[in-house]
Structure 1
Amino acid sequence: VSRYVAASFPTALSLLRRLISRSLIVNSQLNATLSKAKSSDILDMLCDGKSELSHLKDNISYSPARFARALHSTISPLIEELWNDVNLPLLPAYLMNPVVSMVNELVTCLDESSKQTPVEGSESRSSNRSSNRDSEITDLQHRLSRNLSAMNVFLGGSARSARLLSVRSESESGGDPSAADPPPVEPIEDTVNLLIDMGFNR
């Protein structure tokens, strides 16, 4: 390898490392600008008017995630060729370190890109499950409040306690008085006799 190639090697590695950095591709201000650009403007930036893509000018859009995946797919064969080179073990430490770091960054970025869609779906499913659980818990709280209110009245509790339970149930049901009313209780004769034996009045 000539002296000039060896001198340009660190610069080439630095450029490749910046190109494969997913955060620089996806989270930059330039991406926000390109995402808002019109299809015709994007086409003008990419090619001239005689390009084969000119008929797609109304269907072109920019996606940072898709661009990052395409760029990584283009760079990967170059880095793979370097990684499999038989002369790689002969590199000095000051060149081997950047190469290993670059390969590690590329693998990490490719892994993140492959997980983007499944993670979003998982978060959506997790959010749905959490929402369903919250709804079930709220419904259970309403039912328990109504049942406690009915039980308190049935067992001869004070009117104040009954009112407090009723008010709490009403506030949890969104202020709907009908939702807080306890269901009608049908006394069971065996239960009534048992309560009388325990010392309660009928």
Structure 2
Amino acid sequence: MKTIAIIPARGGSKRLPGKNVMLLDGIPLIAHSILYAKVNSNVIDAVFVSTDDPEIKKIALEYDAKVIDRPAHLAGDHEPTVTALKHVLESLETRPETVILLQPTNPLRPEKLLQQAFELYEKENCESLFTVTRSHHKLGKIENNRFVPFNYKPGQRSQDLEPLYFENGLLYICKSDLILEETIISKNAYPLLIEHAFAGVDIDTAEDFDYAEYLYQKNK
């Protein structure tokens, strides 16, 4: 296996319990990322789901993904994603060259995104690549109960803001060696700019899920 996809999906969500098995258009949330990986089988040699949850494991196997049982100490609220990825790699007999991270909480992705991202990853000889989107918000900090503008001056037009970008979570590609060093986004990672409504979906609450359902039906 040269390139694998890893979908980390623990069962202990606090703000939206059971979110990874909730049905989005009749399909469990976790399955949307599995199906996306399967459609891109010309790039991805195998799909792995890392989970500590029996129900998620059952669904993953039903959708023909391979499952790596995640130990409890790697499934806590404050455990970083990279440790789950590292555990998957350490569980495999043969180490892949490249890992594509697909987060189940980002179930909606532009159809050709992975193909385009992987071609760029190879063309630029990247060690890691991740997707970003420009923020058009006027941002600031609160210090001593006062709002301090960060990326604008009061009265400045939104279209004149200094360009700032956020990590949208749609996908990540990196060398497996980086993950073993507990890194996903390296210092010289390539930021792939994506301007798409799907970039605003990251399911953490019931309202996030409702928004994802709305966008899914609108773009179906």
Q: Under TM normalisation by the shorter chain, which class is it? A: under 0.3
TM-score (norm 1): 0.20
**If you compute each CA radius of gyration, which structure gives the higher value, 1 or 2?**
1
Higher relative contact order (CA 8 A, sep 6+): 2
**Structure with greater strand share of residues:** 2
